[in-house]
Structure 1
Amino acid sequence: MNYTLHQLQVFLKVSETKSITKAAEELYLTQPAVSIQLKNFQEQFDIPLTEVVGRQLYVTEFGQEIARAAENILNEVHAINYKTMAFKGQLSGKLKITSVSTGKYVIPYLLADFMKLHSEVELMLDVTNKNRVVKSLERNEVDFALVSVLPDMNIQNIPLMENQLVLVANRNFDKPKRPLTLDEIQQLPLIYREPGSGSRHVMERFLEQQNIKITKKMELTSNEAVKQAIIAGLGCSIMPVIGIKNELQNGDLQIIPAEGLPQFSQWNLIWLKSKNLSPAAEAFKNYLLENKSTIIQTHFGWATQL
């Protein structure tokens, strides 16, 4: 057999994504390039690694075994590179973080200066919904997770800052001179995030605590979709302030005062108590403990002045 590390990398990504198209996107390759590498890799085995049923690609049982072996080989290669860097006195390794979707407005600022200081650290960042974040932690697939609602798990955490949620409407909404009453909120068409979202959790907790029954509602799967729906006049929503800075500044959205609002949750960086942090992960944790106040004040001080 004469397979290359590149072929192992391509096959592993195909096995993870179950798609040549998605593998090509994540590897920054063309689809034909991935297909050729997959074909060349397959030719070295008498047993099929993948099969196509309908239009869906599946990894065979044998292919899954080879994928696990490929992952182990690539991990060993990465370990050699990291040890070389460590011997030269440079911090290196992989830093794996997952974040709930609204956290995309927070996590880049927590990472930016750290990554500049340690250019040999390889960052793997996944921004997704809360349910997938929790699963990634449970499976020990990541070092840290950024969440606004703490999961019921055996974790450690670094509290970061308040996550302020407010009632948001578009520029055409007649802003009242006094806060909306609970009865008035009940009459609004409200736009929800999808089940499992931290923002939806806080919103539903508020509505339940105030015994507000919403009859006109819409459900969307991202903060960006919710913002565009509000701007278009489809309704209002209870949203995190940090995700609407630009829209507030240009006047597309406005905060509507209302009884019981704003609501608050807390941004936290969390990790499993049982997790043995890598040198890169330990360095990031210590960096954040030392610098979080400065980062938050510099980049999010505006949110406390609304």
Structure 2
Amino acid sequence: MTRALSLAILLAALPTRAADPPPRLFEHPNLFAWCIVPFDAKKRGPEERVAMLKQLGFTKYAYDWRAEHLPTFDREVGLLKQHGIELTAVWFPANLGADARALLDVIVKHKVTPQLWVTMGDPGGADQAAKVANAVKVLRPIADEAAKFGCKVALYNHGGWFGEPANQVAVVEALKLPNVGIVYNLHHGHDHLPRFREHLAAMRPHLLALNLNGMLPDGEKLGKKILPLGVGTLDLKMLRDIAAGGYAGPIGILGHTQDDAEARLRDNLDGLAWLRPQLAGTPAGPFPKLRTHPGRP
């Protein structure tokens, strides 16, 4: 018997550890809370917000802010680390000015590596090529700076030219940087619904995060841009399309109203829990009673 064969037999006899299962896309460990800092009727501070996240079982969190929140960002990140909550992403300016530097200083201090979510308006230019080039000119310094600290930059769709998936893909591919991708928001994608599968397929190689929202046809035009999950008539279809499209990254649960942020997050979690079994073909049970919305029509 050769030495190599003997070693192979010995290794085969050793007990093996099963590989960890991949995270389930719409299960709680893969979810993060988003849009709950300026969007909160109770105007929680860092301590109250982190306590709320713990109470709701979130282990991931994306930070949005206004100028008045920046002085407490350092304290908030410290509390997140203390309680084992990942800072998944930070809303980030389309520049490296004073606010950006304040955010980066805290990120570096605490040795965290959140995605930096950047949006911008029309970058200007006479044609598509010029617009892409101008967007690249704005974003490259941010991406280069983020790379120094191990952070990725995600282009955030927020309407207009920059919010179109095809344009974002073009910008990412023009940048050719390994730390640049896309975060896609359903609540800013109502006009994309007729071609959502096509857009998702184009974005998927670059998709770093995806934020859910209750969706229905022409929802934004009807004044129903932000809905709890399960209320939208297209929600089950959207979840199926996302799962079938091969996306496997983190999933955002939206606040983004002036309700109590905890109540709104609970409504979305309950709506998602109602939808999840239906993905496997289980008939829908009773719809949950919501706290911030009348419920399904």
Q: TM-score range by the shorter chain?
A: under 0.3
> Which structure would you say has the larger RCO, counting Cα contacts within 8 Å and 6 or more residues apart?
1
TM-score under structure 2 normalisation? 0.25
Larger Rg: 1
